[in-house]
Structure 1
Amino acid sequence: MPAGLSTRTIEILDPATGEPVGSLPVADEAEAAAAVRRAAAAFPAWAATPPGERGLRLRAAAQALAARADEVAAMNTRETGKSAADAAGGVEAAVNTLLQYAELGPLHRGKRLRGGWDAVDVATPQPRGVVLALTPWNDPVAVAAGLLGAAIVSGDTVVHKPSERSPHTGALVDAILAAELPEGVLVHVTGDGTTGAALADQPGLGAIAHVGSTATGRALALVGAAHDVHVIRENGGNDPLVIDAGVDPVWAAGQAALGSFANAGQICTAVERIYVHRAIAEPFLSALVAEADTWTRGSGQPLVDARMRDAVAAQVDQAVAAGAKALAGGSVPDGPGTHYPATVLADVPAGVQVLTEETFGPVAPVVVVDDFDEGLRLAAADVYGLAATVLTPDMAHAHRAAALLPVGTVKVNAVFGGAPGGSAQPRGASGSGYGYGPELLDEMTTTTVVHFGLPGGSR
């Protein structure tokens, strides 16, 4: 890492207005090393703390976050452009997640296996050590709460570097939580990708937990392999939506719009490509265009920054140049900020980036298929494996989709949703390991097996 890196800063502009939000320094390699040492020094005492007490401390941290929910949500909106309601919902989800892990952590059980009458094997979960958590900007509070909560209640200590696109939000959340925990249990680091790379390369890590791009996740997997560090990663997705014949096209359009346009398309499990049965394609497209106009009406929600908007616009422009038709949106609007309209693309040719790569913007590319099997085949033909949705009145089709789609989560007749405490394993380019739910406690711990026998000659 170049000398003098700590003189660099991260400058954040409000994506809605273009006005400055603030500036924070980028941590250098020495600061990264010091952060890991702080967390490592705190680990023995925290690991030895009874799980019930760890749960109580995490509960206190959750309550402290709840008490400052409005402040955290407002900062999130200023940095990322997330709507006030979505930002508040993210904080509420974070509080609930922390409370959930405060309850689940002390109940995280091992296993027992009898051999003969005089012997028993006991398998018990043990904390891994220092967990490096690298979290994203698109839902910075809720996602961070899952990784931090599971690691802390498991007896790990954490070094947390939030995304450079939401550094003020991350710093505020960490300060609130850390104030309720012993020194060094949660260590905050501000920085960009070079900071994350420096942190991942530090000796003494027990695990790396990353939610973000596939390219970064792959690089971290290589670092983890080189250092024998456990890596948990939820990375990019290119989630398909398959719409069968027989569904209400207007309802299907509402589902497609929600999946494609919510949070300006900046959701890991957003709908990225749509395969609609020819029997309902025309009324579906008409209804989807109307939905797009509603989502765009007024100023709409901006993308997080100009770099993201430019990337989304480039994918749309490529598709249109290749023959796709923009039935709604499709161009950068005038005015301040980094807005991009809800966009509907029809007649999208195979091979363009809006079908093969994660767009992460409010774009709904539509491909018309002749039958459900064709839609299913096209949906499955992808390197990503995060999630997929099917809308169908045919339960045989639903079961076949669940069996054949190579993704961590298959959703039937709802683009979003899931039971509280649910979990999933991404596949392929989307990552590996459980990223949430009770199973995340397994990721944050390792298992020690002890074989107990009787001393020689004892009866």
Structure 2
Amino acid sequence: MTTLVPQARPGHTGDTGSITIVDPRSGEIVGSVDEADRDEVGYAVDRARQAFPGWSATAPAERGTALHRLADALVGAADELAALNERETGKLLGDSLGGVMAGASTLRQYAELGPVHRGTSLLGNRDAADWTTPEPYGVVAVVTPWNDPVAVACGLIGAALVMGNTVVHKPSERCPHLGVRFGELLEAALPSGVFQTVSGGGQVGSLLTEQDGVDVVAHVGSSVTGRKIARVAALTGAHVVRENGGNDALIVDADVDPVWAAEQAALGSFANAGQICTSVERIFVHRDIADEFLDALVAETKRWNDAGRLGPLVDRRLRDEVDAQVRAALDAGATALVGGQVPDGAGSWYPATVLTGCRPSMEIMTEETFGPVAPVSVVDSFDAAIEAAVNDRYGLAATVLTGSLVHANRAARDLPVGTVKINAAFGGAPGGAAQPRKDSGSGFGYGPELLDEMSLTKVVHQGVPVLRKAVS
């Protein structure tokens, strides 16, 4: 396979600055990374565009083999990547290592799914043939977050590459050293120009997604950024896949064990210090078990704080945002049963926090809180809980804890979200792919369906020719 690339890489002009990262555990400086400038972003897209014909002509099985090489490279550097993740984002080392291994596993899944991805045969005239076939778009811009940086990136990148697209990746500016090292590993295992990394913050992301040579933008991150990308894509014509913010509700029905429900609520609210897109953001508990549930949730929350199960928030800017939401709720009449105060000392730590007396109008209930906060509202019925959960501008996921099959089925039917989890805050079979709703995004971001998002469908009709008569 021949890959054509431009001959000269532009020099860094310095018009976008650099990013300095502070370890959120200690406040110590990790280092600095230069942001890509306009010329570097344009060069990367142009290089990917020129590499596309050769990569898209590569046999799908060979592209799958290349993804296995990428997975091998990640596994070989797993400890290094996990350590970088811990230093830059504060994610616990075990969780960071798990994210790297999950990313490698996702690459292997797409390595196998890609070559067997198929079109369909169509029923036409008996003397003709009709079928559909998937084809790659071209250049895919992948913009990914910091809260699970390797696992999330591998899904979007793997699906794009195995379908024959080339990729320009902008990792989060909150973990740029990890992003650069991750990119080095992938770029070294692929033909020149097929995969590239550009480092930087929102300005660099805008430069990338505004490029006319970008055919698809795949974004996981905030709803604000997602909306900007969608508006730009309306002008450039790029196909957009985005999973954005969430304000996920947890409904606790009257018939469940309150201690178990509290454990599920704590896990959903506090895992990764609450820095997960599908974290529990709003809790609606039936009045009949509210007191027992709150007592158990307070006890469970104290265990999370005392056992060191929380890492810090990614930086002090995020901690200030979380604390401001908590302060506003307390000023509006909520009560902090546990936590709710910024601790002394270095880093960007914040305790697992339980708020009660939360009303629907409070910002803590209407906006995503990317931190370890469990805001609780007591409701009089399951109907009231459903009504409150539905009243939201996001539509990512929701969780229902109930022993009633009727209530479970109603929740699955009526909650306007991409994923409904019944009797489990996290979990699910592999390959699940949902379409988020409203401000939470659009398109399939995971699973086999992501291969459809990364490809165009062509319909072929083959009729019977009329042949030239032989000349005697």
Give yes or no for the alignment of 1:441 onto 2:456: no
Q: Deviations over 1:33-84 (max 9, x none)?
A: 0010111111000000000000001111101111111111110010100001
How far apart, CA to CA, are the structure 2 residues paired with 1:298 and 1:113?
59
How far apart, CA to CA, are the structure 1 residues paired with 2:464 and 2:127?
6
How far apart, CA to CA, are the structure 1 residues paired with 2:465 and 2:436?
47
Question: Are the aligned partners of 1:26 and 1:191 in contact in 2 as well (CA < 8 Å)?
Answer: yes
1:310 alignment partner, one of 320, 323, 327:
320
2:331 alignment partner, one of 321, 325, 333:
321
How far apart, CA to CA, are the structure 2 residues paired with 1:423 and 1:211?
14
Name the residue aligned to 2:5: none
| Cα distance, 1:344–1:119 mapped onto 2, change above 3 Å | same
How far apart, CA to CA, are the structure 2 residues paired with 1:257 and 1:80?
21
Name the residue aligned to 1:203: 212
Question: Are the aligned partners of 2:263 and 2:300 in contact in 1 as well (CA < 8 Å)?
Answer: yes
- Give, in angstroms, the shift of residue 4 of structure 1: 5.4
Q: Report the identity percentage.
A: 60
- Give, in angstroms, the shift of residue 456 of structure 1: 2.6
Q: Which runs of 5+ in 2 are unaligned?
A: 1-11
Name the residue aligned to 2:23: 14
1:101 alignment partner, one of 107, 110, 120:
110
- Give, in angstroms, the shift of residue 252 of structure 1: 0.3
Question: Are the aligned partners of 2:86 and 2:93 in contact in 1 as well (CA < 8 Å)?
Answer: yes
* Other structure's SS at 2:227 match: helix
2:369 alignment partner, one of 359, 365, 371:
359
Q: Deviations over 1:217-244 (max 9, x none)?
A: 0000011111111000000000000000
How far apart, CA to CA, are the structure 1 residues paired with 2:40 and 2:187?
18
| Cα distance, 1:458–1:319 mapped onto 2, change above 3 Å | farther
Which runs of structure 1 show a deviation greater than 4 angstroms over 4 or more consecutive aligned residues? none
Give yes or no for the alignment of 1:84 onto 2:93: yes
How far apart, CA to CA, are the structure 1 residues paired with 2:75 and 2:155?
15
What TM-score does the superposition give when structure 2 sets the normalisation length? Answer: 0.95
How far apart, CA to CA, are the structure 2 residues paired with 1:419 and 1:228?
34
Question: Are the aligned partners of 1:72 and 1:91 in contact in 2 as well (CA < 8 Å)?
Answer: yes
* Other structure's SS at 2:280 match: coil
- Give, in angstroms, the shift of residue 122 of structure 1: 1.6
1:412 alignment partner, one of 396, 404, 422:
422
- Give, in angstroms, the shift of residue 349 of structure 1: 2.1
1:175-324 → structure 2 map (5 Å cutoff) = 175-297=184-306, 300-324=310-334
How far apart, CA to CA, are the structure 1 residues paired with 2:16 and 2:291?
56
Question: Are the aligned partners of 2:360 and 2:388 in contact in 1 as well (CA < 8 Å)?
Answer: no
How far apart, CA to CA, are the structure 2 residues paired with 1:298 and 1:368?
28
What TM-score does the superposition give when structure 1 sets the normalisation length? Answer: 0.98
Q: Which runs of 5+ in 1 are unaligned?
A: none
How far apart, CA to CA, are the structure 1 residues paired with 2:303 and 2:361?
29
- Residue 192 of structure 2 aligns with an amino acid whose one-letter code is E
* Other structure's SS at 1:272 match: strand
Give yes or no for the alignment of 1:116 onto 2:125: yes
- Give, in angstroms, the shift of residue 169 of structure 1: 1.1
How far apart, CA to CA, are the structure 2 residues paired with 1:166 and 1:353?
28
Q: Deviations over 1:89-119 (max 9, x none)?
A: 1011101000000000001101111311111
Give yes or no for the alignment of 1:344 onto 2:357: no
Name the residue aligned to 1:168: 177
- Residue 149 of structure 2 aligns with an amino acid whose one-letter code is P
- Give, in angstroms, the shift of residue 425 of structure 1: 0.6
Aligned length: 457
How far apart, CA to CA, are the structure 2 residues paired with 1:238 and 1:458?
67
Question: Are the aligned partners of 1:6 and 1:25 in contact in 2 as well (CA < 8 Å)?
Answer: no
